[in-house]
Chains A and B, each alone.
Chain A
Amino acid sequence: MRIPGLNLQWKALPGEAPAAIAAVGEWQWTEAARLVREGGGRLVALWGADHRDLAEDEDEYSVYAAYAVKDGLAVVELLVPDSAPAFPDLSGLFPAAGRMQRALFDLLGIGAAGAADTRPWLRHGAWPEGAFPLRRDFDAAKLPPNAFTDYPFVRVEGDGVHEIPVGPIHAGTIEPGHFRFSIVGEKVLRLEARLGYVHKGIDKRFEAFTVAEGFRLAGRVSGDSTVAFAWAYAQAAESLLGVVPPPRARWLRAMFLERERVANHLGDLGALGNDAAFGFALAQFMRIKEDWLRENAAVFGHRMLMDLVVPGGVARAFDAAQAEAMIATSHAVEREARELRAIFDEHAGLQDRFLTTGRATPELARALGLTGLAGRASGQACDLRVDFPAVPYGELAVRKAGSAAGDVAARVAVRFDELLESLRLVRAIALAAPDGELAEELPAPRPQAFGVGWVEGWRGEAFVALEAGEGGMIRRCHAHDPSWQNWPVIEHAVIGNIVPDFPLINKSFNLSYSGQDG
């Protein structure tokens, strides 16, 4: 019973992710969302696929929603006819669905009936209204020239209110996006983001790869989460191929994922100190991170561990001497991290900037579906490594970090806690990873075979849905970054803060533009 109260024919999807899929009708589509919401579940992803060429009678699209429920991942599929390409709006129940639905329309031309906001999201003018890149009859050769369109931001009116437009190119070395602040004096009344600037057509691009090769592209959905996405992709591919990776490979994947978490948390902690004018923190943490990345390169051949998780297993391993070196480095980094944490805690100026800044209360976080690290700092105690532990996380007994404060200080504290825990996990994996093969052979995929992957990356849940086509090719692959859920929450967390605190608040969430834009 994936969604209690709704009688659906669930088909379990094999593989590492605890997932099942069921077909729903239009009424059940809405009812499923309502029951998941009432049961405390979460919307993980929403996407669609063009199945018109496969339909037996009427041409049809599929729209999918993936929910996190008590016993895992519940995926529902709604068939939508070509004659009326629309589905019932979910944004009333799950506000995070709003932008996903707008993106779905931009790419596939299936609209959410009843949605309040139907402005384009990913379509800025590179392709015209009425052209839909994910439709199978879309022809990129026939596109008119790029015609950048204006965007109707919501205006705040009143005495003394003015707007600050920021971006798409920002002042620092960060990804592009546009932020429109409505302010009075220094105080932010409203923030509205326009994203999609780095949309490079990843979902469509997957169609040029085979199921066996697609992991490289998945690993570049968001470079800072390359391991999380490559692993989620590998899970999806293994699910549809019926392959189980060997035990050693599964332990190595966890090693890569925890090393990725350590690297990102080190970088963020330095940058958070820097955004509060504490340059010492940036210099120290970036030095430690550099040591960490150099060890990645020395042991695994790549500083960011790209292309190491492959469908069927992994591409690299470590030997006994390297295990010892990694354990020693991990102890050294832990000593330094504890010292720097003490310095952070004692620094009154830093704490003054961190405490109560950019607060997302647990109520707000629950209502908007805040997920991952930021969610845990706002009382949303979800961590797939603990809630649905894949091998080897069951054996490693991960301690879940958390706070109910929801401010920048809480997101800093959760990062410190998770950094220390991941350093412990790196040591545990180095000691206990079993011997054996690194990868299984891959059989040819059956056309229309479907699988999903779901991995707790450092930022949050990386989700991949994969459908095979003819000749081993990918027919449809959807990669979902947790930033989709978390971007809208920043708009609420900054209200009432002063403009100069925005970079600090934004960094404390550190969301992916590339991951959201696709």
Chain B
Amino acid sequence: MGACTHEEPALHDAHLALARPVAVSLDADGVVAAKPPPLSEGVFPCSRCHLGGDADQDGAGPDGAPTLAHAAHGRKGLECEDCHFEDEEQEAPSIPTFDVCEECHDDLSADSERARAYFDATRQEDGTYAFPKRWRTQDVEPAHGAHWDADVECESCHGAATDNAFTKPRSVPLMERCVGCHVAEEAPNECATCHRETTEKMHAFTLHHAEEQRGCLDCHDAEDRDTLRLANGEPVSFEASYRLCGQCHGPKLRDWRLGLHGKRSGEWNGRQEYLLCAHCHDPHRPRHDPVEPLPAPPRPEDAR
């Protein structure tokens, strides 16, 4: 995948929250027993932005707010363009305004409980509605026109409209679905093809970590962005990321376990704290930048 860019500032915070020293104890072999902090609620989960897994399209979103029951609309015989296109001239689908909803939902008191809950949750103070674009990474704006020009049907990305209802897979594709199709169809496959508003914003990074040989999903789990994966597919938590790093950096992992690589603090004969690989090395760009040294010692000949 080559250069990958990232604009999500929250991930930065998650990394910072992880970058706390971790209490460990040494067992008889001098091997550390990893007891790092869990990815608690205070840590921003990757899945907030990078959706993975098999989330319930008609259930609650990751923030607990209700989501629109697309399947219910489909079962009523509605087509995508009935709500997402105002007219035939419109080039890309849009999130409808409440005017569109009102054509059917003219009496909210007669609506189902689910529908009322959705409107209640999205109603603004001024009486308008803000329907969230929850199910997408915020920096991806798919070029619908380009897809139609390539004769890609709505269903190819947004799920098979069996019985004219949205079914799984989800109505917004996982990234690997995009990538798989782009690879198969030999479409442009650079990250920046889809993730466009990247470099200007916030925390942009470039992958400088054997980028000729490796890509995002060699370390990140495609299904669950809150975990990492080993080369054999075994999921690994961020807290145990040293196992992932150790796949290539075996001798360094051995030295780290012995206390010869990495930094330890605490007591030389008791409780110690250690840092994980990613606490010191940015995993996307592990080489350290030069730093400014502290002042040189005085020269004896300068003494008065």
A binds B: no
